Amino acid sequence: MNIKETIERIEHLMYGHNFEVCLGVDIFNGTTEDDFSKELKSKYPNTDPYRSPLNECSKQEFFEDIQDKFNYRGDRGAGLSLTKTKELELKNFQRQFFDFITQNINEKSKFYTYPDPDGIPGYPVFWEYRFVVFTDQGNILFVYGSSSD
């Protein structure tokens, strides 16, 4: 299963009462923040990456923040209510999501947050994340997600 299919399964499983998620992973060519800005603007024309400088973060912060969002279940007003079987299925696809990312990074990768949600798919209400990862292989990963009602 490829990352697009994995994301589709996670989004489907994380659809609940007044609750849905939008996730994405894009891989761009380049090695600099300017390369990222050009690629992002090309893919998402309604963004303005030149006004939103990246903020460095750690690999640990990257993985913990996404995992915290994946663990969010909301409440009775808006959120997820999963059976044990569906919860296990969701955890499996989330592991595949992290496995994909892990396969595309290494110890030399540099991690950043991208602060501006404008023009990025999704609508953040309950949570959001946007990360940029520069690899030493000339690739830039843009990993984003949000949840809304």
Q: What are the pLDDT digits (tens) for 81-90? A: 999 999 999 9
Residues 2-31, mean pLDDT to the nearest whole number: 97
- Prediction pTM value: 0.96
Residue 135, pLDDT > 80, answer yes
- In the chain, where are the structural domains located? 3-45+54-148
Residues 100-126, mean pLDDT to the nearest whole number: 95
**What CA–CA distance (Å, rounded) separates 24 from 30?**
19
**What CA–CA distance (Å, rounded) separates 17 from 146?**
16
Q: Report pLDDT for 51.
A: 92
Assess contact for 96 and 107: CB atoms under 8 A.
no
Q: Report pLDDT for 128.
A: 97
Residue 1, pLDDT > 80, answer no
Q: Report pLDDT for 28.
A: 98
Q: What are the pLDDT digits (tens) for 49-78? A: 999 899 999 999 999 999 999 999 998 889
Architecture of the domain made up of 3-45+54-148 = 3-Layer(aba) Sandwich (3.40)
β-pairing verdict for 55-57 and 127-134 = unpaired
Average pLDDT of the chain is 96
**What CA–CA distance (Å, rounded) separates 61 from 50?**
24
The partner residues of 111 in beta bridges, in order of sequence, read: 57, 133
Q: Report pLDDT for 6.
A: 98
